[in-house]
Structure 1
Amino acid sequence: MDWLQRMNHAIDYIEDNLENNIDYEQMARIALCSVYQFQRMFSFVLEVSLSEYIRRRRLTLAAFDLKNRQNKVTDIAMKYGYETPESFSRAFQNLHGLTPTLARNAESQLKAYPRISFQMILKGVAEMNYRIEKRDAFQVFGLEDIYNYDDIANQQGVSIPEVWQNICKNGELDRLRQSVIGDWWCEGNFSKELGAVFAFDSYKFTSNTTFPYLIGCYKSEDSRVNGYTVVNVPASTWAVFSTLSDESGSGNYDLRSLKNRIFSEWLQTSNCNILDGGNFEMYCTNKEGYEYCELWFRIEEKQIG
């Protein structure tokens, strides 16, 4: 059974259980991957989070149910997993723009989100820059926090882009960069184009709805790591994908499109599986001074048979 079939079987499971509790572990088993991998593939390919898709589908069906005036709002709320009519009403209004009561009117305009399916779309016209690297185990260190998968924010409600902005303003980014001592590029066998600070995420399990994210550096022999989290990176084979150089100098990269292509195109046609255990987002500057970004994914060859 190929990737498309597995993903569509997982969607079948979701659709069959919109009126029940959806077991994320069962869903991931159907797709033959971890919960985190499934959520990541889902969001990268469809550009909507898994929980948001489930919410939209449930509230779409709830709108149909409301057209039948025999159905009580309380019963509909419970049917689609809402503990109270009030929480259902808030979610319904946020999506449809009107209350469940007003939705009963014949002239009311509602939103419908249809069931999705994964399909093979022949692309491949635009090139994908990637390479395969094998690396021994090494360590990284830096600023760690745990983020919710849905809104990419920590417990304080601060998003990852906001965290980067904050550490740039308060000087923490410079302090982190200065904590790397010596010729760490040579010691770690990295290209001189690689910047000292990068992002490393999903290197350990936190929960089915959260992931760890570290803004950090390579731990060289003389690095000053007091006050920072140190993470072990196991010996691995990595698929490294590169964005195009940002010749505007703004440091903006179209990472969303690159991630979409990795999971919807490269992963389907390669002989590799992407593994849990950590992914890097490396920030680089080429010899001409143009910035680009590399995404590093741990991989293994697919088992035949």
Structure 2
Amino acid sequence: MIAELNRLIDAVEARLTEDVDIAGLAAAAGTTEYHLRRMFSSLAGMPLSEYIRRRRMTVAAADVAGEDRMLDIAVRHGYGSTEAFGRAFRAVHGSSPADVRAHGGPLRSQPKLRFRLTVEGNTSMDTRITHRPEFRLIGHAARVPLIHRGVNPHIQAHIASIPAAEHERLKALSNTEPSGLLQVSADVDPDAVEGTELTYMHGVAVDAQSPVPEGLDAIEVPEGDWVVFRTSGDHPTALQEAYAASATDWFPSNPWRLRPGPSIVAVLERAGDFRTATCELWMPIERA
């Protein structure tokens, strides 16, 4: 995966003034656009689209400091108007092209990335691979913003709004793995941009033949393979670290890639105040 990401960086660099065909680059690398975007954002700490924009504006800064017409510069760097180019330029540099031309700055540079895999061998991951037939997730769903670190208050508020008796009803409906009450994240943006919306469901897994009770939402999950990470410790820190480690450690070392689908957290044990917990993190995968 590290080699594929570095080839992607080189391909992006060669096409900075063009629209970059990410799907085509992913196919050429023998992977999927979905997996490539998810791995890039996890390892680089920014979405691929944001990296391309920053690199494009870093290179464009040299042109802006010159004497070419702004419209010519905008078109050269893939923008149809000086207004669109100016917005992108200001978002990266914090100053307008006119200010830079007049005063020489300020400018912010985005260096070309290079991914490297550091093998330390001092952290083991409790992991298993399982194949599941199609099943259904049922429960109470809400649209919430993605937050990478710490407790998500929007999810907290959603769970708090569910009556206690409803939690017991949901647990009684569970009849397949992952078992018990589940925390489900679906429809996540492939770039995993913080603040973008996802579907969060507080619910359970049932077999594909189980009906959906009135008043509950449902997510249909097709047959496929899953990687299951077992985590234990501070909650939700241990889970968030497992998400990060899957990209930095597990996927680069194993012949699997992410496929579209929900990620699922099953809470196996927890403290009364939920500050610590033992969980299983389920992620949908396919052979790379």
TM-score bracket for this pair, using the shorter chain length: 0.7 to 0.9
Q: 1:198-239: CA deviations, max 9, x gaps?
A: 114259x99xx9996341422448776334442332343321
Moved more, 3-12 or 136-145: 136-145
CA contact (8 A) 1:200 1:216 kept: no
Deviation at 1:114, TM superposition (A): 1.1
Matched, 1:213 2:199: yes
Paired with 1:231 and 1:215, the residues of 2 have a C-alpha distance of 9
Q: 1:97-125: CA deviations, max 9, x gaps?
A: 21111212465231110111222222232
CA contact (8 A) 1:4 1:119 kept: yes
> Equivalent residue for 1:295?
281
Secondary structure class of the residue paired with 1:36: helix
Mapping of residues 44-193 of structure 1, within 5 Å: 44-68=42-66, 70-105=67-102, 107-143=104-140, 152=146, 161=152, 163-168=154-159, 171-172=161-162, 177-180=167-170, 182=172, 184=174, 187-190=175-178
Q: 1:57-90: CA deviations, max 9, x gaps?
A: 111111111121x222222222222332223222
> Equivalent residue for 1:276?
259
Instruction: Give the TM-score taking structure 1 as reference length.
Output: 0.75
> Equivalent residue for 1:156?
none
Distance 1:217 1:232, change over 3 A: same
> Equivalent residue for 1:37?
35
Which amino acid in 1 is paired with 2:224? S
CA contact (8 A) 1:275 1:297 kept: yes
Moved more, 83-92 or 55-64: 83-92
CA contact (8 A) 1:14 1:27 kept: no
Instruction: Give the TM-score taking structure 2 as reference length.
Output: 0.79
> Equivalent residue for 2:213?
225
Which amino acid in 2 is paired with 1:297? M
* Aligned residue pairs, count: 276
Which amino acid in 1 is paired with 2:133? D
Matched, 1:253 2:237: yes
CA contact (8 A) 2:170 2:203 kept: yes
Which amino acid in 2 is paired with 1:182? A
Paired with 2:23 and 2:163, the residues of 1 have a C-alpha distance of 37
Secondary structure class of the residue paired with 1:243: strand
Deviation at 1:144, TM superposition (A): 5.3
Paired with 2:107 and 2:171, the residues of 1 have a C-alpha distance of 59
Paired with 2:19 and 2:99, the residues of 1 have a C-alpha distance of 28
Matched, 1:237 2:235: no
Paired with 1:165 and 1:82, the residues of 2 have a C-alpha distance of 41
Paired with 1:46 and 1:75, the residues of 2 have a C-alpha distance of 31
Matched, 1:264 2:248: yes
Distance 1:273 1:86, change over 3 A: same
Distance 1:293 1:91, change over 3 A: farther
> Equivalent residue for 1:157?
none
Q: CA RMSD in A?
A: 3.4
Distance 1:257 1:297, change over 3 A: same
Paired with 2:163 and 2:38, the residues of 1 have a C-alpha distance of 27
Distance 1:144 1:54, change over 3 A: farther
Secondary structure class of the residue paired with 1:286: strand
Secondary structure class of the residue paired with 1:188: coil
Paired with 1:65 and 1:201, the residues of 2 have a C-alpha distance of 42
Secondary structure class of the residue paired with 2:184: strand
Q: 1:25-77: CA deviations, max 9, x gaps?
A: 11221232222111101111111111111111111111111121x22222222
Which amino acid in 1 is paired with 2:233? S
Which amino acid in 2 is paired with 1:282? V
Paired with 1:256 and 1:214, the residues of 2 have a C-alpha distance of 16
Q: Any stretches of 5+ residues in structure 1 without a counterpart?
A: 154-159
Which amino acid in 2 is paired with 1:262? S
Which amino acid in 1 is paired with 2:277? E
Moved more, 88-97 or 174-183: 174-183
